[in-house]
Amino acid sequence: MRYYSLNNSSPLTSFKRAVQNGIAPDRGLYFPEEITPISKDFINNISDYSNEEIAYEVIKQFIGDEIPTTILKEIIKKTISFDFPVVNLDENIGSLELFHGPTMAFKDVGARFMSQCLEYFNQNKTEDITVLVATSGDTGGAVASGFLNAKGVQVVILYPKGKVSEIQEKQLTTLGNNITALEVDGVFDDCQEMVKSAFLDKNISRNLTSANSINVARWLPQMFYFFFAYKQVSKKYKDIIFSVPSGNFGNICAGLLAQKLGLPIKHFIASTNINDTVPKYLINGVYDPKPSKATISNAMDVGNPSNFIRIQELFNKNLSSLKKSFSSYSFSDDETKIMMKRIHDKFNYISEPHGAIGYLGLKKYGLKTNEFGVFLETAHPVKFLEVVEETLKVDVAIPSQIKQVMSKEKVATSIANYQELKIFLNR
């Protein structure tokens, strides 16, 4: 498999180089040259296969022969060694829980997969590679956990000061070893722009790559759980709608790629908070990114979502074609809290803000009688403990893996601009 830059002025490259580069030399995101649908027979009989077999079938074409089959299967086994249940709430709505991994967020899948790929590719090198990543919340913790003690890999995480939850901050600032946290005086978009600038700066002395969803090894395995969910609900329901809480749009982009592979999903909904660049684009056809605004669903506080260009590429930049498979709606913090309460009151189910926005998207879309809606619960409620307990008037039990980090001391270096990042990286 070869990958091309969406800015179309860099040479084609391999999966290995795309992973190691993170972003193309022309500052574009990498995109697979070909997308070959999976056999209909496999999808029609998906319940006969294990999650590991499904994941291998989904990902193998994007890697080709660059990782031996036995090693790739072992990487997959380690990546998805936890559950991905669809929990039915209503007769036609279910929650796809993606928080059963080590950091209790959906990004555990991509982070674990990428860390193992990178460690394999870097096994015979004498010089370390530095993973440089921006986070609006859960990416940092997942990457820190996934790459902890990875041989030949150093990790530098940029996060916006005061704009992630306490637990999220602890998960990315307390591990030490090969993990370094940089606290940025700004918003997520500032962090992301710094990361992109560093990749293209020839005066940076380190070998850099990214672990944001701009990296193909972080983005592609997110297809897995759409297949896993389909396996669970397709025996009973044929018309399936996914509502995906969306910030940088890597997750829903992976779902749309799964659809291109032949997964028969009827429609996707990108549910956002007040950072509504994409919902507005679908209304007026003008893509006009704005600085991000802080909300209680902070992992989605993104004003210029990097992966939306990949979604446009999947639909040949045709807005009319995109709208046939894709809708997007935005919701306020007040609407989010009201829905969190309704979900808890009606179903005795604790939803954190991102999941509640996913549920709101299904309600806004309006499911028909024969349709089943799946909203993604992208993180455990404990990750947003303060807003969940304050909104629902409940006590959320603290899982053991969270207790372990809460007692540790935060260690982070403060920076205010790109020049300070550059100085840090060249130390």
Tell me the two tokens of residue 54: 């499904």
Element (H, E) at 228: helix 224-233
99 — pLDDT class (breaks 50, 70, 90): very high
Give the max Cα distance, the chain: 61
**Residues ≥6 apart with Cβ < 8 Å to 36:** 61, 261
Q: How many residues does the chain have?
A: 427
What whole-number distance in Å separates Cα of residue 325 and Cα of residue 311?
A: 11
For residue 34, the model assigns a pLDDT of 96
What whole-number distance in Å separates Cα of residue 412 and Cα of residue 171?
A: 12
Cβ–Cβ contacts within 10 Å for residue 161, how many? 16
Residue 232, pLDDT > 90, answer yes
Q: What is the pLDDT of residues 281-298, one digit of tens each?
A: 999 999 999 988 989 998
Contact 87, 37 (CB under 8 A): no
Residue 136, pLDDT > 80, answer no
Domains of the chain: 84-104+219-397 (3.40.50.1100)
Sign of CA dihedral 176, 297, 268, 322: negative
For residue 186, the model assigns a pLDDT of 92
For residue 163, the model assigns a pLDDT of 87
Averaged over 331-358, what is the pLDDT?
A: 97
187 versus 220: the higher-pLDDT residue is 220
Per the prediction, the chain carries an average pLDDT of 93
For residue 4, the model assigns a pLDDT of 97
Which of the following is catalytic: 73, 78, 107, 346? Answer: 107
Q: In the chain, what percentage of residues exceed pLDDT 90?
A: 73
CA distances to 186, 234, 403 from 420, in Å? 13, 51, 33
Residue 57, pLDDT > 90, answer yes
Contact 355, 344 (CB under 8 A): no
Averaged over 99-104, what is the pLDDT?
A: 90
For residue 5, the model assigns a pLDDT of 97
Element (H, E) at 256: helix 250-260
- Helix, strand, or coil here: 103? coil
91 — pLDDT class (breaks 50, 70, 90): confident
367 — pLDDT class (breaks 50, 70, 90): very high
For residue 242, the model assigns a pLDDT of 98
405 — pLDDT class (breaks 50, 70, 90): confident
Residue 148, pLDDT > 80, answer yes
For residue 252, the model assigns a pLDDT of 97
pTM tops 0.95, yes or no: no
Residue 393, exposed/middle/buried by CB under 10 A (0-12, 13-18, 19+)? exposed
- Helix, strand, or coil here: 59? helix
Based on DSSP, count helices (H) and strands (E) in the chain, helices before strands: 19, 14
> Which residues pair with residue 156 across a beta bridge?
132, 180
For residue 347, the model assigns a pLDDT of 97
214 — pLDDT class (breaks 50, 70, 90): confident
Q: What is the pLDDT of residues 32-56, one digit of tens each?
A: 999 999 999 999 999 999 999 999 9
For residue 137, the model assigns a pLDDT of 72
Tell me the two tokens of residue 277: 């660049």
253 — pLDDT class (breaks 50, 70, 90): very high
CA-wise closest residue to 270 among 134, 366, 135, 365: 365
> Which residues pair with residue 239 across a beta bridge?
371
Q: What is the pLDDT of residues 296-307, one digit of tens each?
A: 998 899 999 999
Amino acid of residue 68: P
| 8-state DSSP, 30 | E
Residues of the chain by 3-state class (helix, strand, coil), percent to 5: 45, 15, 40
What whole-number distance in Å separates Cα of residue 227 and Cα of residue 358?
A: 18
CA-wise closest residue to 307 among 223, 248, 219, 222: 248
For residue 400, the model assigns a pLDDT of 83
Look up 403 and say whether it is catalytic. Answer: no
Rg over alpha carbons for the chain, rounded to the nearest Å, is 20
Provide DSSP, 111-139.
HHHHHHHHHHHTTT-SS-EEEEEE-SSHH
Q: What is the pLDDT of residues 3-32, one digit of tens each?
A: 999 999 999 999 999 998 888 989 899 999
Residue 124, pLDDT > 80, answer no
